Amino acid sequence: MFDELNERIIRELSKDSRISFRELAKKLGVSTSTVIQRVRSLERKGVIQGYSVSFDYERLGYELTAVIEVFARKGKLVEAEEEISQLPQVLAVYDVTGECDAVVIAKFKSREQLNKFVKHLLSLKNVERTNTHFVLNVVKEDFSHII
């Protein structure tokens, strides 16, 4: 059951996935064993799919973010998305409504790297064409939490 306690657990884990069960229990005002049971249950149900670290991509040298519209060959969208999702520069692939079939969010260290990436996309047999947008300014970028 997804209740308020589970939501609070997820909110805290999204802020700091390294928090100990003991610290988390103290913050939430419940027993450590309750937190352990809830977290394990959320993991088994696939609500918690893993634990990760967030990065400042610009400090790592990834100064370019691209939003790329993908137009797939007729009937080949799933195959195109699957292949694109495996590329290391890709952060997200979205099936969308509208003129294009999918939207890809990817990060690059240079224009040359982006250029090679887009040309690679266009060489994929299931991709018909693309339309690339450069991100000029990041107002908000936070994939870590929604709750």
Supply the CATH number for residue 9's domain. Answer: 1.10.10.10
Predicted pLDDT at 7? 93
Q: Are residues 14 and 69 in the same domain?
A: no
Structural domain span for residue 72: 64-134
Total domains in the fold of the chain: 2
Q: Determine the average pLDDT of the residues in 57-82.
A: 96
Partnered with residue 64 across adjacent β-strands are 108
Q: Is residue 106 part of a domain?
A: yes
Radius of gyration, alpha carbons of the chain = 19
| Within a domain: 31 | yes
In a domain, 69, yes or no: yes
pLDDT confidence of 145, banded at 50, 70, 90? Answer: low
**pLDDT of res. 76:** 97
130 shares its domain with 72: yes
Q: Which CATH number goes with the domain that contains 77?
A: 3.30.70.920
Q: How many C-beta neighbours within 10 Å does residue 113 have?
A: 15
pLDDT value at residue 142: 78
Tokens standing for residue 5:
């306690």
Model's pTM, two decimal places? 0.80
Q: Judge whether 8 lies within some domain.
A: yes
pLDDT digits (tens, 9 = 90+) for 41-54: 999 999 999 988 88
Q: How far is CA 26 from CA 4, 9, 31, 42, 71, in A?
A: 16, 11, 8, 19, 50
Tell me what pLDDT residue 141 has. Answer: 84
Do 39 and 80 share a domain, yes or no?
no
DSSP H helices, the chain, are 4-15, 21-28, 32-44, 77-85, 111-123
The CB density around residue 66, as the number of other CB atoms within 10 Å, is: 19
Is there a domain that residue 50 lies in?
no
Neighbours of 38 (CB within 10 A): 22
68 and 40 share a domain? no
What's the chain's length in residues? 147
Q: Is residue 55 part of a domain?
A: no
* In contact, 147 and 80? CB cutoff 8 Å: no
Considering the domain boundaries, does residue 129 fall inside one? yes
> Same domain for 68 and 129?
yes
Q: Residue 142 domain-assigned?
A: no
